[in-house]
């Protein structure tokens, strides 16, 4: 008797076929597992050649950028994580092959960093966002307990004005109860509803919640194989709901 496949509970709505979804996921697993350290530069002017496509990870210091990169690539120690905020001072590049890159940007907003250093980071980030042609999208990470800081909003406005899509990860979702996490997600979505090209999801590097959705978004931006036909067709829809 033929088995009829029904959409399974918990699968994103845009994947009506669970088998296809799983096929896409293992292709994405493989694509992200290929990530390798490329280079670490103190200044965007020394970044790798501005060709192909790249996706940047930005956010407040300690928001969980490096942890997210490790969770997404399935590589525990690819990007260095730290209990000491302000650890990643360079732009750290990871190669996904085929002239595609991920870049871990210096965290901002850490009060104990000297003013002169903070200004220098600000300038470096601004120069990067202005000039980088291969930049396809920004993954903006915010601690789900402290979203939308002043600098988060500045960066969002800056990217929206430039026409650069932004996908927000509300990180450390494991620190909140499910109800509180959903409420925080709704609130941030509501706050950003007027911003074109901005999507939001919850994420946890610890429980891996949200890893498939975040990967699908990045893969679609980078044109990675396994991004999935359905995901490619609707790049503007919100994910993670
Ligand atoms: N519970 C929990 N802790 C997390 C999660 N992600 C990161 N952390 C912790 O938060 C701290 C900062 O994480 P990092 O990934 O180093 O943060 P970062 O944004 O790269 O920080 P900088 O490089 O300093 O800008 C570390 O102690 C991580 O273990 C998460 O999903 N859940
Ligand atoms: Mg870091």
Residue 14 placed within a domain: no
Ligand 1 pocket at CB < 6 A: 59, 61-67, 81-83, 85-88, 107, 171-172, 174-175, 204-206
Q: Can you give the pLDDT at residue 110?
A: 66
Instruction: Please report the beta strands in the chain, taking only residues with DSSP state E, as ranges in sequence order.
Output: 36-41, 53-59, 91-97, 100-104, 135-143, 166-171, 198-202
**pLDDT tens string 24-73:** 778 788 888 889 989 988 888 889 999 999 999 999 988 999 899 999 99
Residue 9 placed within a domain: no
- Mean pLDDT over 138-157 rounds to 94
Which atom from ligand 1 is nearest to the alpha carbon of 205? 31
- Mean pLDDT over 125-140 rounds to 91
| Rounded Cα–Cα distance for residues 62 and 82 (Å) | 8
How many folded domains does the chain comprise?
A: 1
Residue 228 placed within a domain: yes
Residue 4 placed within a domain: no
Residue 3 placed within a domain: no
Residue 106 placed within a domain: yes
CATH number assigned to the domain comprising residue 211:
3.40.50.300
Residue 18 placed within a domain: no
Q: What is the mean pLDDT of the chain?
A: 83
Give the domain extent around 98.
Answer: 25-233
Q: How far is the CA of 56 from the centre of ligand 1 (A)?
A: 17
Dihedral over alpha carbons 159, 160, 162, 164 (to 10 degrees) = 70
């Amino acid at each position: 008797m033929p088995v009829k496949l029904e959409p399974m509970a918990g699968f994103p709505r845009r994947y009506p076929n669970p088998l296809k979804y799983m096929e896409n996921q293992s292709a994405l697993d493989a694509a992200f597992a290929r990530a390798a350290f490329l280079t670490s530069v103190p200044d965007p002017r020394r970044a790798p050649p501005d060709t192909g496509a790249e996706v940047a990870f930005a956010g407040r210091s300690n928001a969980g950028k490096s942890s997210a990169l490790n969770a997404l690539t399935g590589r525990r120690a690819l990007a260095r994580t730290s209990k000491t905020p302000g650890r990643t001072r360079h732009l750290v590049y990871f190669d996904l092959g085929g002239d595609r890159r991920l870049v871990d940007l210096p965290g901002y907003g850490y009060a104990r960093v000297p003013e002169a250093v903070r200004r220098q980071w600000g300038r470096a980030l601004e120069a990067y966002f202005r000039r980088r042609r291969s930049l396809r999208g920004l993954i903006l990470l915010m601690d789900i307990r402290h979203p939308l800081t002043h600098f988060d909003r500045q960066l969002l406005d800056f990217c929206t004005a430039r026409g650069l899509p932004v996908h927000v990860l509300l990180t450390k979702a494991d620190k909140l109860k499910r109800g509180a996490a959903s409420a925080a997600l709704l609130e941030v979505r509501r706050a950003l509803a007027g911003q074109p090209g901005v999507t939001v999801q919850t994420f946890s590097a610890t429980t891996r919640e949200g890893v498939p959705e975040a990967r699908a978004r990045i893969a679609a931006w980078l044109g990675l194989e396994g991004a999935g036909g359905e995901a490619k067709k609707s790049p503007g829809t919100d994910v993670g709901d």
